[in-house]
Amino acid sequence: MKCAVIGGGAAGFFCAITLAEENKNAEVIIFDSGNQFLRKVKISGGGRCNVTHACFDPRELVKKYPRGQKELLGAFYTWQPKDTVEWFRNRGVQTKTEEDGRMFPVSDQSQSIIDCLKGEAKRLGIDLKKGMAVKSIVHKNSQFKLLFSDGKIEEFQKVCFAIGSMKSSTLAKSLQELGHPIQSLAPSLFAFDIKDDELTKLAGISVKDVSVRILPKGDFQEGPLLITHRGLSGPAILKLSAWEARKLLEMNYQFSIEINWLGNQKESDLRNSFAEFRIQKGQQFVKTKIFEKLPRRLWESILAKVKIDPDLQWAQLPKKTESL
Ligand SMILES: Cc1cc2nc3c(=O)[nH]c(=O)nc-3n(C[C@H](O)[C@H](O)[C@H](O)COP(=O)(O)OP(=O)(O)OC[C@H]3O[C@@H](n4cnc5c(N)ncnc54)[C@H](O)[C@@H]3O)c2cc1C
């Protein structure tokens, strides 16, 4: 059986290896349009490759995915992080778990993952062909004909596309003709550009636990947030961009967000804290850093934004300013 795997990334290698392991008579070839296999794996996880996550209950695991939860649940009952850990361990790559559940190779080098995948491909006799972009596919007489960008045509009995994302419209069209639905793409995991000098002059400030949401009714995402010279970034923002990816695209990236700099602390709790400050810290200046989590520069900027004189004492603060 002649099998082609299109795309020499993590998915393509894993598919080709599994295919070759389970079908000893299969001739498996990986084609990649680029000149380097597993290029993305190399840079993944800041060069360490966050290979999986220590979450071993499929029902919990799907909750971490912004879309496709229903479809993924079945897949996770077939293959889940425990299987990934075991798969690599059986092939000589030990993993370790960090405090937040992320799992990396003990070497802290994505190269360990690359070496493992390439080593397995070699052991199983998988042919690797780079610089070969597939332009289109047709199915005729029980054979798949692949047309490559250099004009070459090759025939296979089985073909798997693992090309990351669909950029070529001719290829998308030929796959649609074979009956595959193609989902349109939406950018995800990006930082927010915000034109607001008052915000960007605070570049460099990071707050550990904030919650952010798209107004008016988005769900809150939590995590660290970083103010950059272009706007906002950090895990909370990246998470928000992933969960709201489709909505943000629909809004043409013009939207308002709400940031709770104190994580999930409620407005009513904050009002109570302010009332206590008036009594217990009445002599203290409002500008004094009062919230352990908030950097002083950010607190001063919030006071300026709501026009509260930072040199007032808590006891002198007019009661109505608590609502600002
Ligand atoms: C900076 C960064 C850090 C990341 N960190 C992590 C991390 O730590 N952990 C994690 O799990 N994920 C991480 N990711 C995401 C992860 O890298 C990807 O989800 C994963 O590599 C996707 O693998 P893939 O095989 O599906 O696609 P890809 O790696 O994109 O591979 C697809 C391959 O197909 C080839 N191709 C495309 N079109 C054609 C064609 N027509 N013909 C032939 N070949 C074609 C491409 O050249 C490419 O090599 C990170 C991503 C980035 C960008």
Q: Positive or negative, the Cα torsion across 21, 27, 75, 86?
A: positive
Q: Is residue 228 part of a domain?
A: yes
CA of 40 relative to ligand 1 center, distance in Å: 5
CA of 10 relative to ligand 1 center, distance in Å: 7
User: Which of 256, 278, 294 lies at the terminal end of a domain, its last residue?
Assistant: 256
Question: Do 202 and 142 belong together in one domain?
Answer: no
Q: What is the DSSP code (8-state) at residue 46? A: G
Question: Do 149 and 281 belong together in one domain?
Answer: no
Domain that holds residue 160: 2-49+109-177
- Choosing from 95, 163, 233 the residue with most ligand 1 atoms within 8 A of its CB, the one to mutate for a pocket test is 163
Question: Do 152 and 245 belong together in one domain?
Answer: no
Please tell me the total count of domains within the chain.
3
For 70, other C-beta atoms within 10 Å of its C-beta total 8
CA of 19 relative to ligand 1 center, distance in Å: 20
Q: Is residue 165 part of a domain?
A: yes
| Cβ atoms of residues 73 and 20 within 8 Å | no
Question: Do 44 and 117 belong together in one domain?
Answer: yes
- Choosing from 13, 32, 40, 100 the residue with most ligand 1 atoms within 8 A of its CB, the one to mutate for a pocket test is 40
pLDDT at residue 138 greater than cutoff 80: yes
The three-state secondary structure class of 303 is helix
| Cβ atoms of residues 9 and 33 within 8 Å | no
Q: What is the DSSP code (8-state) at residue 94? A: -
* Residue 19, domain CATH: 3.50.50.60
| Cβ atoms of residues 25 and 94 within 8 Å | no
- For this complex, say whether ipTM is above 0.95: yes
At residue 183, the pLDDT reads 86
Question: Do 145 and 13 belong together in one domain?
Answer: yes
pLDDT at residue 321 greater than cutoff 70: no
CA of 26 relative to ligand 1 center, distance in Å: 25
The type of residue at 263 is: G
Question: Do 272 and 246 belong together in one domain?
Answer: no
What is the DSSP track for 196-262?
-HHHHTTTT-EEEEEEEEETTTPPPEEEEEEE-SSEEESHHHHHHHHHTHHHHHHTTT---EEEETT
| Residue located nearest, by CA, to atom 35 of ligand 1 | 7
- As given in the structure block, the two tokens for residue 148 are 């490559």
pLDDT grade for 293, boundaries at 50, 70 and 90: confident
Question: Do 115 and 171 belong together in one domain?
Answer: yes
pLDDT at residue 90 greater than cutoff 80: yes
Give 216-259 pLDDT, tens digit per residue: 999 999 999 999 999 999 999 999 999 999 999 999 999 999 99
Q: Which residues 6+ apart lie within 8 Å of 166 measured at CB? A: 172, 175, 182, 185
| Cβ atoms of residues 103 and 85 within 8 Å | yes
* Complete edge-to-edge strand list for the sheet that includes strand 27-32: 127-130, 27-32, 2-6, 158-161
Instruction: For residues 15 and 8, give the distance between their C-alpha atoms in angstroms, rounded to a whole number.
Output: 10
User: Which of 208, 231, 256 lies at the terminal end of a domain, its last residue?
Assistant: 256
Question: Do 126 and 213 belong together in one domain?
Answer: no
List pocket residues of ligand 1, CB cut-off 6 Å: 6-12, 31-34, 39-41, 43-45, 49-50, 133-134, 162-164, 168, 171
Q: Is residue 309 part of a domain?
A: yes
Question: Do 38 and 152 belong together in one domain?
Answer: yes
CA of 2 relative to ligand 1 center, distance in Å: 24
Question: Do 19 and 118 belong together in one domain?
Answer: yes
Q: Is residue 96 part of a domain?
A: no
pLDDT at residue 99 greater than cutoff 80: yes
pLDDT at residue 62 greater than cutoff 80: yes
